[in-house]
Amino acid sequence: MKSILEIYNLNTHQREVIYTENGHFEAPNWSRDDKYLLLNSDGKLFKLNLKTKARTDLDTGFAKHLNNDHGISPDGKQIVISSADAFPPKDKEQWLTSKIYRLPASGGTPELITPKEPSFWHGWSPDGKTLVYTAKRDKSLDIYNIDIASGQETRLTAGEWLDDGPDYSHDGHYIYYNSIRSGSMEIWRMKVDGSEKTQLTQDVYSNWFPHPSPDGFSFVFLSYLKDQGDAHPPLKQVALRLFDLETQEITTLCEFTGGQGSLNVPSWSPDGKRFAFVSYEK
């Protein structure tokens, strides 16, 4: 399989391939200083220099079983990761051992943030004080946040359906996420305290991983062209779509082979004019 790292430019509506590899990598984050993209591969992290296209492995200490739920702090000084007990997981039980850690952006020893498992990181509040993530504490996967300083965990959604993929709005007032509570996987929004849950999409696609733009006017998300229930498998026909928050209009930007690993985490450029994603060739 070939992994293809691409950048979509909203001004030109063009896709640019910036790096390819025979193998599997996932989930680009765009650095706050506009110098590199952060990705995961084979349970580890690497940085791709945007200017030279050089790949550099990042030291994550004892955490060597990372999934694709990782990100960079608002000030660019820290990285958050989600790591399980083994990679690749032998079964669902090992996959459910994922916990969230943070470490310096330059690499180092991870600090445990969520002692409870499983926990899969998805968003960092703009003030840098809170993480939002998907976790299983009872029977279902729901959305939680945690105050980094105190370690206080708060449940934001509850139900027998799947809620996943939470990410903060640019001003920190809302959390965007995907949920199948209506019977199909759609994009939702709620206030950061979990109130005022509102469904934003309703169509024939399975919609995942909304990521609000830095300017607050839109969010990009991933749509499976065929219904996948509550799953988000790899190597499917998908589209990247843009939701205009003022007009409520949805624009399809491009289609490709992807899914799991393509747009799991925030990947906007600091100027909000571009975002990174991964497509695949079998």
- The answer to whether 188 and 179 are in contact (CB under 8 A) is yes
State which residues form the domain around 171: 2-281
Average of per-residue pLDDT across 169-186? 97
pLDDT at 139: 86
Average of per-residue pLDDT across 217-240? 97
pLDDT digits (tens, 9 = 90+) for 255-273: 999 999 999 999 999 999 9
pLDDT exceeds cutoff 90 at 6: yes
- The total domain count for the chain is 1
Rounded to two decimals, the pTM is 0.96
Instruction: State the CATH number of the domain containing residue 197.
Output: 2.120.10.30
pLDDT at 88: 62
Spatial CA neighbour of 94 closest among 70, 60, 65: 65
* Block residue for tokens 């359906």: 161
C-alpha span between 215 and 246 (Å, rounded): 12
pLDDT at 96: 85
pLDDT at 89: 60
pLDDT digits (tens, 9 = 90+) for 32-68: 999 999 999 999 999 999 999 999 999 999 999 999 9
pLDDT at 26: 98
pLDDT at 95: 73
pLDDT at 94: 76
pLDDT digits (tens, 9 = 90+) for 75-112: 999 999 999 986 666 666 777 899 999 999 999 999 99
pLDDT at 92: 63
DSSP labels for the chain? -EEEEEEEETTTTEEEEEEEEES--EEEEE-TTSSEEEEEETTEEEEEETTT--EEEE--TT---B-S--EE-TTSSEEEEEE-SSSS-SSHHHHTT-EEEEEETT----EES--SS-EEEEEE-TTSSEEEEEEESSSSEEEEEEETTT--EEE---SSS-EEEEEE-TTSSEEEEEE-TTSS-EEEEEETTS-S-EE---SSSEEEEEEE-TTSSEEEEEEESS--TT---SSEEEEEEEEETTT--EEEEEEEEE-TTTSSS--B-TTSSEEEEEEEE-
pLDDT at 85: 80
pLDDT exceeds cutoff 90 at 4: yes
pLDDT exceeds cutoff 70 at 179: yes
